[in-house]
A and B are shown apart, each in its own frame.
Chain A
Amino acid sequence: MARRIKVVIAKLGLDIHWRGVYLVAQFLKEAGMDVVYLGNKFPAEIVEAAIEEDADVVGLSSLCGNHLTLGPIVVEMLKKKGLNNVKVFMGGVMPPEDAKKLEKEYGITKVYLPDTPMQVIIDGITESMQGTA
């Protein structure tokens, strides 16, 4: 991968917990990625940013229960706008069944639950880019 991976990261909706997502953003930067941090944004704004930034990856952070409602909306909207190659990852707190559901039924590439080592996330994102551009 000669070129840098472009990641757009947002806190989903009103979610207040920023320690994890900020850590991930920093670690991804140290792994050589360009990370656009949006702060708290809703699906429409997240997708607009993904378009403007020509993102390879969208990362969503959700610890307050809106993962099944707002998360899939982001995937939907990306598809509608023709961004079929953008990979969507989620991180946060949710029951493992919800995480599986998001991955299997709602098009989320991978959900990272608490205590996932940073390297696993970095590798996951990097690997998802193989086979594209």
Chain B
Amino acid sequence: MSEKKDEATCFFSEEHIKRIREQYDDWFHNCLRDADRQMEGKVFTHSGIPVKLIYTPADVKDVRYLEDIGFSGRPPYVRGIYPNMYRGRLFTVRQLAGLGAPEDCNRRVRYLMDHGATGINILLDLPTIRGYNSDDPEAEGNVGKCGAAVDSIWDMDAYLEGIDLGAVSTSIVTHLPSTSLVIPGMYFSIAEERGIQWNQLAGTCQNDFIMETCVGSGYEILPPSVSFRMQCDVVEWICKNVPRWNPISFNGYNLREAGTDAIAEVGIAIANAVATSEELIKRGMNFDDFAPRMSFFWDLHNDFFEEIAKCRASRKVWYKIAKERFGAQSAKSMLMRYHVQTAGVTLPATEPHNNIARSALQGLAAVLGGCQSLHVDSYDEAYSAPTEEAALVSLRTQQIIQAETGVVNTVDPLAGSYYVEYLTEEMVKRISNYTKRIEDMGGLVSAVENGWLHREIANYNNEYQKKIENGEMKIASVNFMRDEMAEVTPIKVFEYPETYSRQKAKLERLRKERNDQKVKESLNILRQKCHSHENLYPYCLDAVKNLVTLGEIEELFREEYGLWSFPLL
């Protein structure tokens, strides 16, 4: 813990703590009932941290305000990464919008922006996410569902029609490194065509090899080492060429949804950041060249205070790693910027309107935790991607938090809460240990390749399921207060069935109009470069400019690098 206690920065004096302890003992033995005393040691947070009945200054006696908590905008950044936090800049209300053909998405984006959204979040359909064209056989049944179909640069153009790329912040949820090499390139190309300089573009792409190899299963998966190389290629190239763009968002959210607890969620994302940083440094970059552009993506789950503590703790863990491990010189390299999405996995299908309450509470926790941007899940999460009505409720939820509750008026309002500070410190410890464990195993890529991470997820799910089925974990309306006679609420769902035919027609036209020679050349060069140590980005960029489709590029990768399966069964 702390070395020499500096009375000047501790909350309470030794004498005061002594008296508090005495009072606590008295209260514990004389005030509580037997039953209450029995419960001590039996209550835990979701990730297994013990929770006492009451927290007093004695529980945080070694926490020093200046060193361990500090001020917002200053190390260790527990209270927030910017000095003025929400007074200076409200969290970006970034709601997802992506359904159907790019033209349909364009309409939804403009609808949301008219109603106050300040950033665009481009969700892609499953074939696009996994690197297939809309007319590939593998895309069957999924074109335009749960996201936008993007096959070529033409689609990106349609998606962004009428939007001033120099004025918005765009998140392109590409998930996989192999598609992050291609699709953001389409965005950059279009911006160039529209006369907007790359240094004006602001946004994020997800680019996380854990998504490719762990979180989601797939029909054809690239090997982890290949996916990781591509992840680093994307970061390297974008840092050098599109300076305001965040080329990577370490995805704790999807990992959490797949099946981990809060500690593992942050631990793994940070381990990924460490591995990426090491690789980029090997490639000759300085930590301060790329770290300021690294961002994170957290899940906001149910355990209200644990999640807030997680957010605060993650900032501190990152700060320490940036400073002590990588010798960061620039303050910007030590800030953990993150987007938060409330936890979809906690929103059941029964009595879906309850989910509005769940998401609102989670959204509140996210703001109390100090996020930079937020997406609140819609109540129909268990059925489909959000309908317009549900999306609007989510948007309003955020606006209510921002404008009506007053919680944004002051920085980190829960600081000083004995419970929250205890939890924060505890989580800092556990997350750091988790990250170290992964490093001791040989690093994250290795841990993925040999199946360790998959087993962690499978085991977690197994235990979680058992807890739900035996009632240990209570979910209202599912296994607790379940209304057996309840009618299932009819939910309206949006469909865009013509997406497939529209995309198919577009692809046919594209193939006719493009220059076959240029297509062939781009693909040939890319094929060669796959086995070199060069950064693949510029070659992918050239290809998309020559109207090579996403599917063609991804198929090339599969051919050159071979396929991989979860080492689980």
Contacts and interface: CB of A to CB of B under 8 A. Distances in A.
Chain A complexes with chain B: yes
B335 interface: no
A15 B215 CA distance: 12
Contact of B491 (A22, A41, A66, A95): A95
Nearest to B345: A19
B118 interface: no
B126 A16 contact: yes
Contacts of A94: 383-384
Contact of B141 (A23, A39, A65): A65
Nearest to B220: A40
Interface of B: 126-127, 129-130, 132, 137-142, 145-146, 215-219, 258-259, 348-350, 382-384, 457-458, 461-462, 465, 469, 475, 478-479, 488, 490-491, 493, 565-566, 568-569
Interface residues of A, number: 35
A22 B141 contact: no
A105 interface: no
B410 to A, nearest CB: 39
9 contacts: A14-B218, A15-B126, A18-B258, A64-B126, A65-B126, A93-B349, A93-B383, A114-B348, A117-B469
A118 B465 contact: yes
B240 to A, nearest CB: 31
Contacts of A14: 126-127, 130, 132, 138-139, 142, 218-219
Contacts of A64: 126, 142, 145-146
A83 interface: no
A106 interface: no
A26 interface: yes
B224 to A, nearest CB: 16
A81 B478 CA distance: 40
B217 A93 contact: no
B142 A65 contact: yes
A69 interface: yes
Contacts of A37: 569
Interface string A21-59: 011001100000000010111100000000000000000
A70 interface: yes
Contacts of A40: 217-219
Q: Which of A15, A18, A42 has the most CB of B within 10 A?
A: A18
Contacts of A96: 349, 488, 490-491
A110 B218 CA distance: 25
A12 B138 CA distance: 10
A72 to B, nearest CB: 10
A113 interface: yes
B140 A42 contact: yes
Contacts of A127: none
A105 B253 CA distance: 37
Interface in A83-101: 93-97
A114 B490 contact: no
A119 interface: yes
Contacts of B146: 64-65
A43 to B, nearest CB: 9
